[in-house]
Structures are given as C-alpha cells and as structure tokens.
Amino acid sequence: MMLFMKTVNLSITGGKKLKGTVVTNTSKNGAVGLLCASLLNKGTTTLKSMPRIEEVYRIIEVLESIGVHVVWNGSDVTITVPKKIDLTKINVDAARKTRSIIMFIGPLIHQMKKFSLPQSGGCKLGSRTVRPHFYGLEHFGVAIDTTDDAFKIKVAPQTPTEIILYESGDTVTENVLMAAALSEGTTVIKYASANYMVQEMCAFLTLCGVHIEGVGTTTLTVTGVKSIDADITYTLSEDPTDSMFFLAAAVITKSAITITRCPIEFLELELLTLTKMGFVYTASKPYLAENGVTKLVDIKTKASSLTAPEDKVHSRPYPGLNADNLPFFAVIATQAEGQTLIHDWMYEKRAIYFTELDKLGADTVLADPHRIYINGPTKLRPNELVCPPALRPATILLIAMLGAEGHSVLRNIYSINRGYEGLVERLTALGADVAYLKD
C-alpha cells in the first residue's frame, strides 16, 4: 500500500530559457475515472501508462483497503476485484483526500443495496455541490443521505430510459455512465459532459462491451450489459492540462520547446486564444493515441510577445475552453500588454487564489470571487510562497517562478503532485533550475 507523501518543497531559480522536448503525460482525470470503473469488471483490468501521482495513489489505497488486488508493473496497473467488496475496512483518510471517491457510487450500486462512503475532499474551491450526482443516480433507484462525514447510499434498482442531468459535470456524467453500463436496456443521458475524461470513460466502457452512441456530444445513448467479466487492457490517453502547463511555461520564459503527444481536440480553443494574443507555434499533423481514439499533435513553440485579448477569457463546458486550463491564462496574462479579464465563473474561490501572483510581481485587481483583472506586462520577481490547496492555482505559481529572475521557494507542493507526475525532472530536462529543497 502507498503511503501519504511527506511535505515537499521546491527551490526554483527562474529567468532561464527552456529548450528541448517534453512528452505530454497521461491524464489524472482519466486515470481516476477508470480506476473507479474497474470496479465494474469481474475479470482483470489492466490500465497502461498510469500516472504516478498523489490522486491516483489515494484511489488505489482505497481500492486496496476494500479488498481489490492492485499490482504495479512499471507504469501499468493491473486490478482484480474480489467477489465481495468489504467497505467496513475502507481507508477513510485516503478517501477523504480525493473528491473522486464519489465515483465509487456508480459501480458499487450494482454490487450492494446499502453502503456508506466517506465524505470527499480534494481541491478547496468553494461550494462544489454533489447534488447533481444524487439527481442523476436517483433514476437508478439510488437514494443518498449526506451526513457530516459520509454518503449513506440505499439502492432499490430501477432501469431508466432517459436521464436529464441537472448539471453538465464531468464526474456526474461518469457516475451515471457507470450506473448505466450494467443496467440492461438503453439509457439516454441528456446534457452530459463531453469533456476529455468522459470520452475516455466511453472508450473504456466500449472496450468492455457497453454500446455507447453520441460520444463527444451532450447526448449519450448507453446500451448496458448484464455483466462485464473479461480481461480488459486499455492505455490511458494524454492530458490536455499537462500540455497546457508546458505551453504556459514556454510563454512565460519566452522559450522555443517541443511538446509532443498533445490531445489537440481538447486544446484548440486554448491555442486559438493564445494565437489571438500573439503566441506563435506550429503543430504536426494529427495522429492517434494508443487508445486508437484520441487525436494527438506535436507542438513547437516560439518566443512570442503577447497582447491582452480584447474579450474576457472564460471557460465553458466542452467544446469550450477547459475550466482546468483557465488558470494558466492568469499567469500568461501577466506578460501580455494591456489588461486581461479572467472570468472563472465555475468556482467561488479560485480567482482569489490568482491574487497570489501579486507576490511574484503581478498586477491584479480582484473584481469579485469570480473575476480578476490582470495588467501586463510586469516583471516577475522571486519570492517564497506556500502552495494553495488547489491544483491549478498551485501550478501557475510554479510557472511564474520559472519566469522570475532569481531564487524562489515553493512550499508544500502536495496539491501539484495530485495531478502532475515528474514535473521537477521534466522541467530540469528542459533546462530549468528546479530542485527538491532539503529542509
């Protein structure tokens, strides 16, 4: 069993040009969703290219605690689910460290009529309600009672024909997909998320024998199966937010680097926005990922001078600009001529975290909990900061420190390690001066 990672701090000497090639890693959000989906399979599930990140470790700790056999072989994970799952031994500490624990409900309703799961944690981004999960799953006869520290679930199985999702959320859609996968008959899911992790789960479930129409749209038609009992091998797809991290790092350091295996269909609007700001890059012809579905390109960046976009930068459900990529535009805007308005309407607190960039020389004006004005360009300066308890706001501080001439310290990078594998090693390979700090 994995152990919780101790507090890790980074030493960064910024102002250095990056050069070379970096490969896009596989997706955190895809990985945790498929780890949950493995509970549907009575056979053996092998997930290849699994990222070694804290969020994955937490889910695996939970799986192991309830009797699931998990074996690492290099970067691949093999999962064998027991005939009977024992939730009485669940690793509560691990479960409470990840919001993804709520996605255990979809698969477990096919095995148990009554069970309890710990309340979930993860990023601290305000009131991220779980009510849409309840509204979606109630069509399958699921009743969920929320206490201060647990989700208490009762199941009186039903077979729905149509579900209208209260919210077009990623994990909500995945939860309902897993519930529909083992529900015989056809379920139409309307207002579904079409985001990359949802398309990834559709690819996996299709491999398991579930028939799904409308992948990539907001209406999914799912024909479930009575049972999934097969040896399934699936290779995880690449992470658009990983590609975006290095795109932002290239912008901030004015560097020419090559980022390979970028999932282009989930980066097109981000790249278009950057192009309108003056960013210069070239992209290869698309090619398929190992899963045979996701389209990838190799991107070569060029040192660019940016201007602020004329319109606000805001996220939308796919095919809009990805909510997880929006924070990168906050740090990018610090180097763009003019004033940029970032509208982070999904989360109450995340825009507030963007003001941490002021401590690194940024000029921001917080309009309200959702909107922040960023004036640029400003000369970034080094500082010593503690990571906020949210993944993307933490990563943009690291990127800003790469562009700040001088020595910075970034403390407690657990939130970054939740979603990004080997950042220090990968940045070092590009010529950045980043190292783990010995206390």
Asked if residue 351 lies in contact with residue 342, where contact means CB atoms within 8 angstroms, the answer is: yes
What domain range includes position 21?
10-25+238-436
Distance CA 265, CA 89 (A): 41
Residue of 438, 390, 409, 430 whose CA lies nearest to 55: 390
* Neighbouring-strand partners of residue 365: 373
Asked if residue 9 lies in contact with residue 411, where contact means CB atoms within 8 angstroms, the answer is: yes
How buried is residue 373: exposed, middle or buried, by Cβ count under 10 Å (0-12/13-18/19+)? Answer: middle
Are residues 273 and 370 both part of a single domain? yes
DSSP state of 209: T
Are residues 187 and 140 both part of a single domain? yes
Task: Give the torsion sign (CA, 377, 383, 388, 394).
Answer: positive
SS3 content of the chain, % helix, strand, coil (to 5): 35, 30, 40
CA 240 to mean position of chain CA atoms: 9
The CATH number of the domain holding residue 85 is 3.65.10.10
Q: Is residue 254 part of a domain?
A: yes
Single pTM value for the model: 0.95
Q: How many residues appear in the chain?
A: 439
Distance CA 398, CA 413 (A): 10
Q: Is residue 42 part of a domain?
A: yes
Q: What is the pLDDT of residue 349?
A: 82
Asked if residue 118 lies in contact with residue 59, where contact means CB atoms within 8 angstroms, the answer is: no
For strands 219-224 and 185-190, give the pairing.
antiparallel
Residue of 239, 197, 216, 203 whose CA lies nearest to 25: 239
Q: Is residue 4 part of a domain?
A: no
Scan for tokens 């389209």, then name that residue.
295
Q: Is residue 18 part of a domain?
A: yes
Q: What is the pLDDT of residue 124?
A: 47
Long-range contact pairs involving 345-349 (C-beta distance under 8 Å, separation at least 24): 345/314, 345/315, 345/370, 346/315, 347/125, 347/126, 347/128, 348/125, 348/126, 348/127, 349/124, 349/125, 349/126, 349/390
* C-alpha pair distances (Å), 165 with each of 124, 197, 220: 24, 17, 11
Are residues 135 and 226 both part of a single domain? yes
Residues whose CB is less than 8 angstroms from the CB of residue 118 and which lie 6 or more positions away in sequence, other chains included: 90, 92, 95, 96, 101, 149, 150, 151
Asked if residue 82 lies in contact with residue 101, where contact means CB atoms within 8 angstroms, the answer is: no
Domains: count for the chain: 2
Q: Is residue 2 part of a domain?
A: no
Distance CA 40, CA 311 (A): 45
Q: Is residue 3 part of a domain?
A: no
Are residues 315 and 385 both part of a single domain? yes
Are residues 161 and 129 both part of a single domain? yes
User: Cβ atoms within 10 A of the Cβ of 145, count?
Assistant: 11
Q: Which residues of 245-273 are buried (b: 16+ CB within 10 A; e: fewer)?
A: bbbbbbbbbbbbbbbbbbbbbbbebbbeb
Distance CA 366, CA 275 (A): 26
Are residues 223 and 145 both part of a single domain? yes
Task: Give the torsion sign (CA, 163, 164, 165, 166).
Answer: negative
Are residues 114 and 214 both part of a single domain? yes
Are residues 275 and 231 both part of a single domain? no
Tokens of 152: 């208490």
Encoded amino acid at 11, one letter = S
Q: Is residue 356 part of a domain?
A: yes
Asked if residue 246 lies in contact with residue 298, where contact means CB atoms within 8 angstroms, the answer is: no
Q: Which of 235, 267, 300 is the last residue of a domain?
A: 235
Q: Which of 206, 235, 264 is the last residue of a domain?
A: 235
**According to the 3-state scheme, what is the secondary structure of 67-90?**
CCEEEEECCEEEEECCCCCCHHHC
Q: Is residue 141 part of a domain?
A: yes
- pLDDT per residue, tens digit, the chain (439 aa), is 444 445 799 999 999 999 999 999 999 999 999 999 999 999 999 999 999 999 999 999 999 999 999 999 999 999 999 999 999 999 999 999 998 999 999 999 999 999 999 987 554 444 457 889 999 999 999 999 988 889 999 999 999 999 999 999 999 999 999 999 999 899 999 999 999 999 999 999 999 999 999 999 999 999 999 999 999 999 999 999 999 999 999 999 999 999 999 999 999 999 999 999 999 999 999 999 999 999 999 999 999 999 999 999 999 999 999 999 999 999 999 999 999 999 999 988 899 999 999 999 999 999 999 999 999 999 999 999 999 999 999 999 999 999 999 999 999 999 999 999 999 999 999 999 999 997 6
Are residues 67 and 14 both part of a single domain? no
Asked if residue 96 lies in contact with residue 137, where contact means CB atoms within 8 angstroms, the answer is: no
Are residues 243 and 196 both part of a single domain? no
Are residues 361 and 422 both part of a single domain? yes
Are residues 90 and 200 both part of a single domain? yes
Q: Which of 200, 235, 270 is the last residue of a domain?
A: 235
Task: Give the torsion sign (CA, 228, 134, 156, 109).
Answer: positive
